[in-house]
Amino acid sequence: MLTADRERLISLMTEQAEFGGTDAGGLHRLALTEEDRVARDWFCNLLDDAGLDVRIDAIGNVFGRREGIDPDASPVLLGSHLDSQPYGGRFDGPLGLLGALELVHVLEEEDLDTTHPVEVVNWTNEEGARFQPPMMASGVWAGKYDLDDVYAATDDNGVTVEAALEEIGYKGPEPAEPPEAYDAYLELHIEQGPKLEREKKDVGVVTGIVGLTWTETTFYGQPNHTGPTPMHLRQDALVAAGDLITQVPRTANKLSDTTRGTVGAIEYDSEAISIVPDEVRLVWEFVDYEDELVEAGYQRTLDEIEQIARRHDVEAESSEITRFESVAFDDRCIQAVEAAADDLGYDSMRMHAGAGHDPMNVAEVCDTGMVFAVSEDGLSHTEEEYTSWDDCYSAVNTLINAGYQLAK
């Protein structure tokens, strides 16, 4: 079995956390910012030092390639992302990326050739914090999104993705698409949930990714003076919004144990105390591995919104912003990850990913799989996010052996 260099992994993980590192030990490295540029430059140097051919595509994805023996064999790709959430954690993304690079380091040190080329990739803007949608660059690469549409996406200051790429020097010369067929893609990521820790497992073997809907609803009421307007004549948009906020989780609970329903965003810009609230915008989400349950949550909530609007005599408008179908990974990738964990003596479990990841896009191009590392207390997208070095090490060893198995 291959074994990662634990000290190198720790030292690189520690180094990368300085680019956009926060006082509380987290990471604030939004996509295509100066911090992202510094991290990318550092990463490109690592690829270079490892003897890889580096190429950058038009959406800023960075690839490093180690040739295989068979010129006709298609590459095995491993990767993740360097960008973070605002005040996010230092493991989400970089662990998978440096884990992927570790395979190349170990192959070099052990002087091992592979039949297939091995490529390492840093996907641009996985998080979708500064620019939406999330996972936009793997989406372009996989042919799900149009490059020009994604170039035109803007941040809160009106800066486009294209301008931001140019600003940091990462609008690369390569077309943002696979230059050839790919054999397989593997990604190591932190679990971002509590299952592995609760079940006392060393690593997770991910069999697929949940689907989801994000839908935006706006309630329009009638602004009026609160004192003279009797309660039965109110058209209060905020009370309607309140009903929706409690209804969405209730619907999820009724649907199944696995369905998640959340109202995570609300926009109501008034601090007026004596005016009946007139306009509130919310975004609600349903997540499940079963696409029918996501659809059921969506439909039931649309029905519920009609009733809420009638009850409070307000208007409601809804439109779906995003829908991702769930993705089932490929058996050969799942088995490669599981076998690697077994052979290394790690205790693993099969599980679904409960959040979106680049592999859901890459799965359109080639066979795909994922390895999960333990997330302490299931926390992520926060500075408190933590994975012990032991758990990082187990997950990286699983990744590199699975990757080697596929590339060998």
- Which residues would be at the binding site for Zn ion (CB under 5 A)? 92-93
Minimum Å gap between C-beta 311 and Zn ion is 40
Nearest residue (CB) to Zn ion, 102 versus 191: 191
Residues in contact with 130: Cβ distance below 8 Å, sequence separation at least 6, in sequence order: 30, 31, 32, 33, 155, 156
Minimum Å gap between C-beta 395 and Zn ion is 14
Q: At 198, list the tokens.
A: 């609760």
Minimum Å gap between C-beta 138 and Zn ion is 11
Q: How far apart are CA 308 and CA 304, in angstroms?
A: 6
Closest by Cα among 89, 84, 78, 159 to 119? 78
Minimum Å gap between C-beta 124 and Zn ion is 13
Nearest residue (CB) to Zn ion, 68 versus 94: 94
Minimum Å gap between C-beta 380 and Zn ion is 8
Assign 216 to helix, strand or coil. strand
Nearest residue (CB) to Zn ion, 259 versus 375: 375
Assign 28 to helix, strand or coil. coil
Closest by Cα among 392, 313, 380, 300 to 346? 392
CB closest to Zn ion, residue no: 92
Q: How far apart are CA 141 and CA 19, in angstroms?
A: 26
3-state secondary structure 125-151: CCCCCCCCCCCHHHHHHCCCCCHHHHH
Nearest residue (CB) to Zn ion, 119 versus 187: 187
Nearest residue (CB) to Zn ion, 26 versus 93: 93
Minimum Å gap between C-beta 353 and Zn ion is 10
Nearest residue (CB) to Zn ion, 20 versus 93: 93
Handedness of CA 376, 377, 378, 382 (dihedral sign): negative
